[in-house]
Amino acid sequence: MELTYRRFDPADATDVDALVGFLTSDTWPFHGQAVVDEEGTRQRVAGGDFDGDGTRTFWIGAGEEVLGLVRLMDLEDATPLFDLRLRSRDRGRGVGSRAVT
């Protein structure tokens, strides 16, 4: 499976709705907050947490299907961080390993 990456666009309402839907429709047991709410996510998008100074977010796909997203943070720092989120149905299939590589 070949992975593709498409940058998240916070100015595109459809992309924002897709991000909110993605994050609120699954659970994230390996993150600080396992359940994400819509209002908080929209506030974070508006605040630049997904695309702003030093932060970029990319959709991870395979063909037309969205498998997850990767958020790159602290890009201005010598040691940037990343947040990788995959749909629960796509976890354990090697997608994360390929995405990190």
Q: Are 69 and 53 in contact (CB under 8 A)?
A: no
Q: What per-residue confidence (pLDDT) applies to 1? A: 81
Quote the distance between the C-alpha of residue 65 and its chain's center.
14
The average pLDDT across 30-44 equals 93
Residue 18 neighbours by CB distance under 10 Å: 15
Domain ranges of the chain: 4-100
The average pLDDT across 34-53 equals 95
Instruction: Give the whole-angstrom CA distance, residue 60 versus residue 82.
Output: 13
Q: Which residue has 């969205």 as its token pair?
A: 66
Q: Give 7's pLDDT tier (boundaries 50, 70, 90).
A: very high
pLDDT exceeds cutoff 90 at 34: yes
Give percent of the chain with pLDDT exceeding 90. 91
pLDDT exceeds cutoff 90 at 55: yes
CATH number of 4-100: 3.40.630.30
pLDDT exceeds cutoff 90 at 101: no
